[in-house]
């Protein structure tokens, strides 16, 4: 158990960096996408949802949504590297639950035949 004190500051630093830089990247993408959409006046529309530059803002929103999943993935990788298999299995189980929720959500949204 002597590895626990050395692991925690490293893991906390990695998680803090991931969440900090990930949040900034997502925020910049959303702001940049909104700015380009507002500047782009050649479509002559008031509905910003159909402007192609909104894809950049949408990408930023997707990044915000993916940050917690990336956090669990990073935790799994660090625990596996540190050979803390109990916590690695726990993180893997959380990732599988997230994946299962995603798959069920996509299947539910699919149009049903008939």
* Structure confidence by residue, pLDDT tens digits, 68-99: 999 999 999 999 998 999 999 999 999 999 99
CB-count burial class (<10 Å; 0-12, 13-18, 19+) for 84: middle
Per-residue pLDDT at 100 exceeds 70: yes
* Residue listed under structure tokens 């949204």: 109
Residue ranges making up the domain that contains 103: 3-109
Cβ distance 67 to 26 under 8 Å? yes
Assigned domain for 51 exists: yes
Residue 17 lies in a domain: yes
Tokens of 67: 């940050």
112 pLDDT exceeds 70? no
Residue 61 within a domain: yes
Rounded Cα gap, residues 103 and 100, in angstroms = 5
For the chain, how many structural domains are there in total?
1
7 falls within a domain: yes
Whether 114 is in a domain gets the answer: no
The whole-model pTM stands at 0.71
Q: Looking at the domain assignment, is residue 10 inside a domain?
A: yes
């Amino acid at each position: 158990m002597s590895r626990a004190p050395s692991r925690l500051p490293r893991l906390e630093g990695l998680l803090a960096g991931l969440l900090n830089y990930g949040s900034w990247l997502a925020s910049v993408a959303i702001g940049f996408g909104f700015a380009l959409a507002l500047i782009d006046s050649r479509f002559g529309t008031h509905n910003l949802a159909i402007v192609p530059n909104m894809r950049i803002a949408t990408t930023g929103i997707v990044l915000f949504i993916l940050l917690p999943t990336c956090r669990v993935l990073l935790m799994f990788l660090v625990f596996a590297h540190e050979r803390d298999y109990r916590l690695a299995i726990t993180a893997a189980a959380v990732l599988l639950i997230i994946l299962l929720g995603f798959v069920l959500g996509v299947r539910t949204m699919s149009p049903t035949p008939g």
